[in-house]
């Protein structure tokens, strides 16, 4: 599907803050509120947008994210569908996607500690271990999200504000109401306070107060869109980068480069087989090749290897997939 300028403006402002009202987006985009509402509904009906996603810093309540890259063998279509459904329903999986390249699936697990992670992996192995040919696990140290400036051909400043989460942070205590609010926002970042209040049985004003508190504590970092790669007219690549050395100065250069490139929407610093993941959205394969040539040229002094994955379907994106308690943490 092709996008016209009005579509791109609406998607851009949704991606800047998906909880904005239609009226707020209309004012920013210079489009009527009615057109904004109609087009957002069409994005959903036509499956241009898969999710409205709440960026939650899981380190604020003691969790770390672990990315799993899996290559299968002898996996039937039926078993693949079963695997996808398992990931979507599992209360410890925060993100899951199908891809082409050296791996078939990528998914992220949240965990309190290594024992917790091991138990989640054991459950996966018990159900699907016979089909797993290779798996690599990388612990996420920090993830930075950048706005989709390419939609409006905007030149991005390297000092632009970004939304990020980490593996360590000052822990905040969440009560059960906080968790219930996050649970609903995790399912749909655009859900309104009235609908949340109906679900969790408190007033809409109390819900709004809770959301403002979670934002003030930096537990909630932002609200963005997750396009449906099957219909969105841009290709999504995840590039895995291995470095010869990871000096602070080099890492600053790499992050600043990513911040200033409008087609790079996400960068992850990882602890594993590779050092960084970079997510890119481009119009076509040729644009991707140009970007990779730019990266290889810019960082030839320290880039040891890279592997691109074409993400063609995100099945789940929810950084608060379940309400945890201390008993859960000791499983």
In the numeric block, which tokens belong to residue 251?
């890492």
CA distance 219 to 60: 6
CA distance 136 to 183: 29
Task: Say if CB 143 and CB 319 are below 8 A apart.
Answer: no
Give the mean model confidence (pLDDT) for residues 19-31. 97
In the numeric block, which tokens belong to residue 17?
């803050």
What is the structure's pLDDT at 245? 85
CA distance 63 to 176: 17
What is the structure's pLDDT at 328? 52
pTM: 0.93
CA distance 275 to 196: 39
Q: How confident is the model at residue 159 (pLDDT cuts 50, 70, 90)?
A: low
Which of the residue ranges 273-277, 319-323, 324-328 would you say has the lowest mean pLDDT? 324-328
* Among candidate residues 85, 44, 102, 47, the one with its CA nearest the CA of residue 230: 47
Bridge partners of residue 181, in order along the sequence: none
pLDDT digits (tens, 9 = 90+) for 139-152: 999 999 999 999 99
């Amino acid at each position: 599907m092709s996008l016209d300028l009005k579509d791109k403006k609406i998607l851009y402002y949704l991606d800047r803050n998906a909880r904005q009202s239609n009226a707020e987006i209309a004012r920013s985009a210079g489009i009527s509120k009615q057109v904004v509402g109609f087009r957002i509904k069409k994005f959903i009906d036509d499956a241009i947008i898969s999710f409205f996603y709440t960026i939650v810093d899981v380190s604020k309540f003691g969790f770390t994210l672990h990315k799993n890259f899996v290559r299968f063998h002898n996996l039937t279509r039926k078993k693949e569908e079963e695997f996808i459904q398992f990931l979507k329903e599992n209360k410890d999986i925060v993100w899951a996607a199908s891809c082409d390249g050296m791996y078939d699936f990528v998914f992220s697990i949240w965990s309190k500690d290594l024992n917790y992670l091991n138990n989640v992996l054991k459950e996966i192995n018990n159900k699907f271990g016979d089909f797993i040919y290779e798996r690599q696990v990388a612990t996420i140290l920090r993830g930075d999200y950048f706005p989709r400036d390419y939609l409006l051909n905007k030149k991005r400043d390297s000092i632009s504000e970004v939304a990020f989460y980490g593996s360590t942070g000052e822990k905040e205590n969440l009560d059960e109401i906080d968790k219930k609010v996050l649970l609903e926002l995790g399912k749909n970042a655009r859900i309104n306070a009235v609908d949340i209040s109906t679900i969790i049985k408190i007033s809409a004003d109390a819900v709004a107060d809770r959301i403002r508190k979670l934002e003030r504590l930096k537990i909630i970092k932002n609200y963005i869109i997750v396009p449906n790669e099957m219909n969105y007219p841009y290709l999504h690549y995840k590039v895995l980068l291995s470095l010869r050395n990871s000096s602070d100065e080099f890492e600053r250069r790499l992050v600043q480069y990513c911040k200033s490139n409008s087609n790079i929407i996400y960068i992850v610093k990882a602890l594993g087989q590779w050092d960084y993941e970079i997510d890119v959205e481009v119009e076509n394969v040729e644009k991707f090749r140009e970007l990779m040539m730019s990266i290889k040229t810019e960082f030839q002094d320290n880039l040891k290897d890279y592997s691109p994955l074409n993400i063609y379907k995100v099945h789940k994106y929810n950084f608060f997939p379940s309400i945890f308690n201390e008993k859960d943490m000791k499983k």
